[in-house]
Structure 1
């Protein structure tokens, strides 16, 4: 008896050929690639599994669905809607498919902040030779403490890389505790407030979940050590941007580097664009070679496991969105 997997639209150019490759590699698997809404609803009626985003109106047509593969590690807001959380379907995600790219981007942001590069880049655009010889303007990583909020695959790799600079790395995580290579300690998520006042660097790698939405707001930013730096490469809704802008204006923070934002794209009128102590990249931390092949590898392994009746990898707790 065959097993049906539906590749849901929109179909990305990078996924071209996935249907044929899956069917060749997994005996007994039939892969459907519908394009219109009518085709999607017909395909879902008999589908055992699906890849992509499944809103509530389409989920209602999926009477047999037992597995949904999310196309990202942290899908956009609304992916884990109440109907999906209540449904018995198992959800898997794409975590750990671009850990190396995001960790390297994070270190680039950290080094840029530590050496005042945002200010010098702006000075270069003005052809302004303006050296700052104040030793206090530089963050010596070998004497610094970094607080990594979220010690999953990305957070763990960021901590390992920072430790190579001599940085003391502390982690807080809702699920993981130590020992983790490169970390002095890993503490429960409840320890966040106690750790903020001692951190020179705060690096957010956590996913967007009900528990992390607005994680760094005005109250927590008031706990931060004066002169600390913030880096967010996790998910935008974890940081309240207006509260961050206010903390920077008040001198509470020395600077920030952000790859993700509450609203994307960041509105052109937002004050963070114009701050000399802020470095902005447009949600590109995960960009790098091999990403699509890694995503396909996760889908393929799970398809093989699903057809064989084995445990899936990268299972998600739907109520927590990760």
Structure 2
């Protein structure tokens, strides 16, 4: 502590959108003092006195954070490498920004689903041609009121997507490791060990999972082969959960109808990747969380947790560090 105030370090690199945060955080939580170092030397000096930090803490700086007791991640699911072994073993508590853009991701997910259901990827390509080629065949669309969706991950985003799908008449099943009660709109909720039994029954599989040691590569060649050849796959969680080579092969061999992806194993997706050119794939560049109020919501989480930290209360969105989420 600095006097009777707790010191919080905003770790570089800095984002201009957070430039006003130190003053606003100090105003909202008088027991917090905020510093925003620019250089490595300033960061090391500040970490030596810090009780808390916001941002990404590299492994080489962790030994300098001898007093650190709380680290606030700037994302719900930070990039790979955030939870390195030394940080996992360290006693510091980590919180994330879970549930700050649920509405944006759910709306984006539904946009992807509806686009696939109505064949929009094809018509978007026809528009560029330009080509007038209406398809009136009954199987050119996916009737959402007649299908079963499987949502893999029924946290805040998955639960909201399921609720929205149910409004279209879709039968919605869920898979989740933590939830024990089916969210509104869901017909059934299953444990993760039921995934392989559920995949063959689903017409639409939506993955909203975080990247953890248990979810990495979850959607692989073996599990893709379990899906119906008429099924669609949507991933709005983290790219590391779906093996892109296996997905490409499944599409090449007609084992899936289509896919829509907002996240990828490698980002940006390389320009020469075959998924870019497939008419049965819809790609958005990791923008599902885009929308208004995101920065204010993230600041609200930081302020709430700062108050709780200074008052010795439980923190919100605390992470199981060994599971990265």
TM-score range, shorter chain: over 0.9
Query: Match for residue 226 of structure 1?
Result: 229
CA–CA distance in structure 1, aligned partners of residues 62 and 299 of structure 2: 23
The alignment's C-alpha RMSD in Å is 0.6
- Count residues with an aligned counterpart: 322
SS of residue in 2 equivalent to 1:230: strand
Query: Match for residue 62 of structure 1?
Result: 65
CA–CA distance in structure 2, aligned partners of residues 310 and 216 of structure 1: 38
Q: Which runs of 4+ in 1 moved over 6 A?
A: none
1:257-305 CA distances to partner (integer Å, 9 max, x unpaired)?
0000000000011100000000000000000000000000000000001
CA–CA distance in structure 1, aligned partners of residues 63 and 159 of structure 2: 38
- Quote the offset at 1:24 in angstroms: 1.1
Query: Match for residue 208 of structure 1?
Result: 211
Query: Match for residue 43 of structure 1?
Result: 46
CA–CA distance in structure 2, aligned partners of residues 64 and 45 of structure 1: 7
Query: Match for residue 270 of structure 1?
Result: 273
Query: Match for residue 152 of structure 1?
Result: 155
Query: Match for residue 316 of structure 1?
Result: 319
Query: Match for residue 111 of structure 2?
Result: 108
- Quote the offset at 1:16 in angstroms: 1.2
TM-score by length of 2: 0.98
2:283 equivalent among 280, 285, 288: 280
- Quote the offset at 1:177 in angstroms: 2.0
CA–CA distance in structure 2, aligned partners of residues 258 and 70 of structure 1: 24
Query: Match for residue 28 of structure 2?
Result: 25
Unmatched 5+ stretches in structure 1: none
1:209-259 CA distances to partner (integer Å, 9 max, x unpaired)?
000000101010000011100000000010000100000011111000000
Unmatched 5+ stretches in structure 2: none
TM-score by length of 1: 0.99
SS of residue in 1 equivalent to 2:199: helix
CA–CA distance in structure 1, aligned partners of residues 10 and 89 of structure 2: 22
